[in-house]
Structure 1
Amino acid sequence: MSLKTLRLAAALALTAATAQAETKHIAIASFGEHPALNQVAEGFKDRMGALGHAEGTAVTYSFSHANFDRTLIPQVLAKVEAEKPALVLAITTGLNQAAVRGITDKTIPIVFASVVDPVVAGIVPDWQHGSATSTGASMMPDFDATLAFLKQVIPGIQAVGTLFNPGEDNDATNMELLTEAGKKAGIRIVGVPVEASADLPQRMQSLAGQVDAVFLIQSNVVQTAVPIVAQVAQRIRMPLFNSVFNPALQDQLAGFHAISYRKNGEHAADIADRILKGAKPADIAPYVPVAGDFDSYVSVKGMEAVGLPIPDALKDSPWLLK
């Protein structure tokens, strides 16, 4: 082999080794597998690719989840930390709260997603800054817009019910904001506490005769069992709306005023990109959703199932799902 050939081979080997060394590993950790939460991860990875972080060359990914079991979260986080990732994408509030405490290597940045209020949850100090290790994309709802939407779909609406887990910080924030929006809109908000998904049918049943519609907030205990809630809603002839869009349920629900989980993942990727390029989490303010992050839908079949017509003003609306 000639000297020239040897030098070329050495250069290629060095280039390959350098490329391999520069490949960054990102650990994605979620509370569980759910279509909406999976959209966060998918949106994140697609946006990262668009930003130049090609999967398999610039970055690699792992995915771990706790199967919606809080007792498994420490195990998930121990696995994630053992991977020594360049960055962690942590999905849902409870998992992020545990990650802030449980990931002991404080050189690993944590980008949160699917978190309503990271300030109340203690993940970041305020809305202008991240913490030393964490920042991300929030899913702060716009309940003023939600109730305005419900007024158009159900003219004359006076009371809206919802189900919430009093033990979840996300749920507490949602209830506070929804109640405040209800006061401004002249709509009474009736919240029914639910600690376990097994209680959902009975608690949903309890709203019969009390409200004109039910709107489901971004609650883990509720969102994992929406089909069950929908069955009860149809039985009691109650229009049911959700804060998470799921096309598989569009015939069972009356409609959706939903934040895009995919876009939430994309916004988290924008923040991850900045961190991987050297920015400090503390210098990056958490992302707050804007109008374009929400989608409105009304289901013709879902409304018919509970005996309600589509208002004339909406019969040509792009919101309609037929």
Structure 2
Amino acid sequence: MKKKMWLSLTLSALLLTAAGCGNKEGADTPSKGSEGGTDKQSFKIAISQYVEHPSLDATREGIMAALKDGGIIEKDNMELDYNNAQADSTNNLTIGQKLKDNKNDLVIAIATPSAQAVVKNVKETPVLFAAVTDPVDAKLVSDLEKPGGNVTGASDTNPEATTQLMKFVSTHFPNVKKIGLIIDEGEANAVVMSKTAEAALKEHGIELIKASITNTSEVKQAAESLVGKVDAFYITLDNKVVSGADAIINTAKMNKIPFFSSDRDTVEKGAFATVGFKYYDHGYQVGQMAVDILKNGKKPADMKITIPDKLDLILNTKVAAEYGIEVTDAMKQEVKDPDNNIIQ
């Protein structure tokens, strides 16, 4: 009897010990991360964006989508510090200085002014830029193939896009002899693109007339100042001007002046044509670079600067009549992917 009782007590003790060990393992053992280790890998990423407008917002959305597809997800294994300068140069510099002292795994700068402020201040942390027209002219890197240092990224400009758009204008709008450009000449990328456009137009005997602005609130007045002086409007990837594109669209429609832009998003909003690409895709490309840096150990110094290579003419045919434009078959035939790039 005593022997049976002793065996029963021993078995009970063993079962309790096993159960206790099982509970402890479930409570204290760390979960495995995406890399199969015992600790879940986590990241701190800061984004500096110069201003909110469709192209830059789409760029950021593309970046976030690529990060997510790469297993880097906000509020899961990624802490995001998003900063927007609202096109204010003082805010922009303050953000750059702030990110200098923050311990991030990666800093992403969207638009040339943001990239310049970040690169000036952040010297150790890897930096990626997006929506930058000319990284060399902006002094972000010295070489597009071998950036060196802690900075790399993607340019949103292929000079061929501007050249192709000006050829399209000269071919299909023979009455256009003067094009009005609303421009912030304090923005380096806008100046670079305006020079490319001016040279291309000169080959076709078309004059470029500029109306300068210093902030978005001046865009409407600048557009109105060109009425009666020009036969068409054009804008570059100029952040303050793109932010005020609605004012140009309204002025252009009211006066039956064709409006050409340098970005797809402004065409989707109401400009007539551009040669370009989707900024979401541009951002996605930068997001893939971010994943390579954070998860695959790639160094910005060894990652070449990329540029858009899938250019196409993009037409918004549904607004054409409001500008006094008759869309011809010849225009449509220049669009390589009509299903996606003719907006109707």
Residue 281 of structure 2: aligned partner: 263
Alpha-carbon distance in 1 for matches of 2:74, 2:38: 17
Mark the CA change 1:60 to 1:296 in structure 2 (over 3 Å): closer, same or farther.
farther
Opposite residue 63 of structure 2, the aligned amino acid is F
Aligned CA distance change for structure 1 residues 315 and 57 (closer, same or farther; 3 Å)? closer
Look up the match of 1:70.
89
Identity %: 26
Deviates more, 1:166-175 or 1:202-211: 202-211
CA apart distance, 1:136: 0.3
- Kept in 2: contact 1:161–1:207 (CA 8 A): yes
Matched, 1:110 2:127: yes
Partner Cα separation in structure 2 for residue 307 and residue 81 of structure 1: 51
Tell me the equivalent position of 1:199.
218
Q: Secondary structure at the match of 2:181?
A: strand
CA deviations on 1:207-263 (whole Å, 9 max, x unpaired) are 33443321211111201111111121122221112222337964x432333442212
| 2:51 paired with 1:32 | yes
SS at 1:132 equivalent: coil
Q: Match of 1:51?
A: 70
Is 1:61 aligned with 2:83?
Answer: no
Name the counterpart of 1:8. 25
137 and 39 in structure 1: CA distance in 2 versus 1, 3 angstrom threshold: same
* 1:100 partnered with 2:119: yes
Deviation at 1:267, TM superposition (A): 1.7
The one-letter code matched in structure 1 to 2:227 is A
Q: Which amino acid aligns with 1:238?
A: I
Residue segments in structure 1 that go unaligned for 5+ positions in a row:
none
SS of residue matched to 1:287: coil
- Partner-residue secondary structure (3-state), 2:136: coil
Gaps of 5+ in 2: 1-16
Deviates more, 1:83-92 or 1:9-18: 9-18
Of 304, 307, 316, 1:299 maps to: 316
Stretch moving more, 197-206 or 132-141: 197-206
Q: Secondary structure at the match of 2:30?
A: helix
1:162 aligned to 2:181? yes
Contact 1:28 1:61 in 2 (8 A): yes
Please give the alpha-carbon distance, in whole angstroms, between the structure 1 residues aligned to 2:297 and 2:137.
27
Q: Deviations over 1:153-184 (max 9, x none)?
A: 53554433212111111111111211222234
Residue 4 (structure 2) aligns with: none
Does structure 1 residue 310 correspond to structure 2 residue 330?
no
Of 214, 227, 232, the residue aligned with 1:208 is 227
- Secondary structure of the equivalent of 1:63? strand
Separation in 2, partners of 1:144, 1:43: 27
When structure 1 is superposed on structure 2, of 148-157 and 215-224 the one drifting more is: 148-157
Whether 1:321 aligns to 2:337 is no
In the alignment, the residues of structure 2 paired with residue 257 and residue 43 of structure 1 have an alpha-carbon distance, to the nearest angstrom, of 20
Please tell me the residue identity of whatever aligns with 2:114.
L
Cα-to-partner distance string for 1:69-95 (whole Å, 9 max, x where unaligned): 111123323444454111011111111
3-state SS, counterpart of residue 29 of structure 2: helix
| Cα separation, 1, equivalents of 2:177 and 2:38 | 64
CA distance in 2, matches of 1:52, 1:145: 38
- Once the two structures are TM-superposed, the CA of residue 96 in structure 1 deviates from its matched residue by 1.0
User: Please, which of 19, 28, 46 is the counterpart of residue 39 of structure 2?
Assistant: 19
The code of the aligned residue for 2:253 comes to: Q
When the two structures are superposed, what TM-score results if normalisation uses the length of structure 1?
A: 0.86
**Residue 181 in 1 paired to residue 184 in 2?**
no
The code of the aligned residue for 2:198 comes to T
- Corresponding residue pairs, total: 316
3-state secondary structure, aligned to 1:246: helix
Alpha-carbon distance in 2 for matches of 1:202, 1:55? 41
What amino acid sits opposite 1:124 in the alignment? V
